[in-house]
Structure 1
Amino acid sequence: MLIDVRTLPHGSCRSVIFRAIADLPGDANLVVAAPHDPAPLREYLAIAHPDEFGWDYLEEGPDVWRVRISRVAA
Structure 2
Amino acid sequence: MSQAEQVLDVRTELPRTRHQLIFSTFDGLADGGAFVLVNDHDPKPLFHQLSAEQPGRFTWDYLEQGPEVWQVRIGRVAVS
Settle same-fold status: TM greater than 0.5.
yes
Q: Which runs of 5+ in 1 are unaligned?
A: none
Residue 19 of structure 2, aligned match among 14, 22, 45:
14
- Residue correspondences, number: 74
Q: Tell me which residue corresponds to 1:2.
A: 7
When normalised by structure 1's length, the TM-score is: 0.91
Q: Give the TM-score of the pair, scaled to structure 2.
A: 0.85
% identity of equivalent residues: 42
Quote the residue 1:24 is aligned against. Answer: 29
Q: CA shift at 1:10, angstroms?
A: 4.0
Structure 2 residue runs without a partner (length 5+): 1-5
Q: What is the RMSD computed on CA atoms of the aligned residues?
A: 1.1
Matched, 1:71 2:80: no
Moved over 6 A (4+): none
